[in-house]
Structure 1
Amino acid sequence: MAGAQCCENPPSLNPSCGEGSVECLVGSIKAYVTGSVSSKKAVILASDVFGFEAPNLRKLADKVAASGFFVVVPDYFYGDPYVPEKCAIPEWVKIHGPDKGFEDTMPLIADLRSKGISAIGAAGFCWGAKVVAELTKTDEIQAAVMLHPSLVTVDDIKDVKVPIAILAAETDHISPPELIKQFEEILSSKSEVNSFVKIFLGVAHGWTVRYKTDDDAAVKRAEEAHSHMIEWFTKYVS
């Protein structure tokens, strides 16, 4: 499900932020790209409903790139990220479903591989976690990370085929700890799939990308999740 927590603490979008650049990689979809183009490893970051111009997300993309990955943050919403004042979140999701995000990712992956990328990881935040859930059912990526997932179901987790880390929040009405524990039980029964599940105490849905940069405690908690994500990709995307 998608709900009010998906919309809390909206970022101030900034199309010029980040150390990378915005490019049109394949078709009509634009993306923020950062990192060495000579890297053989790539990570795709699927945003939450606020899209690819969120400063904290781009800052994280730059951090992942500094670990040796070519990073791509697609504009899955084609310039139409969620704006709380314009409509309710369920109405917006009807127009911008994660199924379309998954469809857009497939040619993007093919394009990356045509340019010499040999290993790809994908991380999804809130809305983007559903895109990543669909990718984990394919052979197109080597590893996945979901951060405070939205719309992801038990049936999705049953079909996971690649190493996956799920980083969840203690206070989350979208994917509450009870659901995350179900995910963990399912993954624990899949001996062929490496997994890591952690529920972070004292944080709420969206904490990894929608924190206030002047809140030292919030930054520290977000950075802890970022470190887990980068460690996961370093281990499995090679």
Structure 2
Amino acid sequence: MAGPQCCELPPPRDHPPVGVGRLDAFHDLTAYVTGSPEAKVAVILISDVFVFEYGYRKLADKVAEAGYYVVVPDYFNGDPYVPDQSNIQDWLKNHSPEKGFEDSIKIIEVLKSRGISSIGAGGFCWGAKVVVELAKGEDLKAGVLLHPSRVTVDDIKAVKVPMAILGAEIDRSTPPELVKQFEVILSEKSEVDSFVNIYPGVAHGWTVRYDETDETAVANAEVAHKKMLEWFKQYVV
């Protein structure tokens, strides 16, 4: 279940959008898209429970520079979680990862109709559950889970595509002990390549919700961003 850490350090509500991409429609969802529309490979970045653009536009642009067409959907249709306005469990009733999975299938259909031949996905907190559901099928070439939330041992047992899991040492939602269980399960699946690492000294959310004036926080986030991109470069081709 989503825990208190998932709801800590919400982004500023009035942050200005920063990115070189644009907004596009995917069925009934709006998404930030960036990268060449001529690209044949794509990456879907699936956000945490907060504003889908915050922290993700710049990261999407970075992934696009590697040659990918990058899509960051607004799975919440303009209704992100706001800590002082709603209870997280009540909010999840209308914004479940299961609904996110269904929406992702529609997004993948649109991408394939546009000539995309290979798709990867990175999921952050809430979004990691969506990615692991996609990884149980044949729609993705690879997935990356960054400080996942709500992901279970049974989910990992069902993974069929190369999977990287980037966990945090200080994480009450998915503690290191659970991440290590994921690692053991994946290591026993000889047909699925995997990478699992627990990053020391960082907390849940460290890859997208960090103080950009804090050099250490920025450096820690960039380590995870680099590993995610390396994983996509290896398998989403």
Task: Determine helix, strand or coil for the equivalent of 2:143.
Answer: strand
Q: Over residues 161-218 of structure 1, what are the superposed CA-to-partner deviations in whole Å (9 max), with x where a residue is unaligned? A: 0000000000000000000000000000000000000000000000000010000000
Q: Aligned partners of 1:158 and 1:51: how far apart in 2?
A: 31
Q: Conserved in 2, the CA contact under 8 Å of 1:3 and 1:90? A: no
* 1:123 counterpart residue number: 122
One-letter code aligned to 1:119: S
Q: Over residues 50-75 of structure 1, what are the superposed CA-to-partner deviations in whole Å (9 max), with x where a residue is unaligned? A: 03121x21111110001110000000
* 1:180 counterpart residue number: 179
One-letter code aligned to 2:146: L
Deviation at 1:15, TM superposition (A): 6.1
Deviation at 1:148, TM superposition (A): 0.1
With normalisation by structure 1, the TM-score equals 0.97
One-letter code aligned to 2:66: S
Task: Determine helix, strand or coil for the equivalent of 1:221.
Answer: helix
Task: Determine helix, strand or coil for the equivalent of 2:195.
Answer: strand
* 1:18 counterpart residue number: 19
* 2:164 counterpart residue number: 165
Q: Conserved in 2, the CA contact under 8 Å of 1:130 and 1:149? A: yes
Q: Aligned partners of 1:68 and 1:62: how far apart in 2?
A: 10
* 1:139 counterpart residue number: 138
Q: Aligned partners of 2:126 and 2:48: how far apart in 1?
A: 5
One-letter code aligned to 1:9: L
Q: Aligned partners of 2:146 and 2:78: how far apart in 1?
A: 23
Q: Aligned partners of 1:95 and 1:28: how far apart in 2?
A: 16
With normalisation by structure 2, the TM-score equals 0.98
Q: 2:88 matched to 1:89?
A: yes
* 2:68 counterpart residue number: 69
Identity %: 62
Q: Aligned partners of 2:169 and 2:81: how far apart in 1?
A: 25
Q: Aligned partners of 1:107 and 1:87: how far apart in 2?
A: 28
Structure 2 stretches lacking a partner, 5+ long: none
Q: Conserved in 1, the CA contact under 8 Å of 2:11 and 2:51? A: no
Deviation at 1:102, TM superposition (A): 0.4
* 1:28 counterpart residue number: 28
* 2:153 counterpart residue number: 154
Deviation at 1:17, TM superposition (A): 2.2
Aligned pairs for 1:101-116 within 5 A: 101-116=100-115
Q: How many residues align?
A: 236
Structure 1 stretches lacking a partner, 5+ long: none
Q: Aligned partners of 2:171 and 2:41: how far apart in 1?
A: 32
Q: Over residues 98-138 of structure 1, what are the superposed CA-to-partner deviations in whole Å (9 max), with x where a residue is unaligned? A: 00000001111011011111100000000000000100001
Q: Aligned partners of 2:92 and 2:117: how far apart in 1?
A: 33
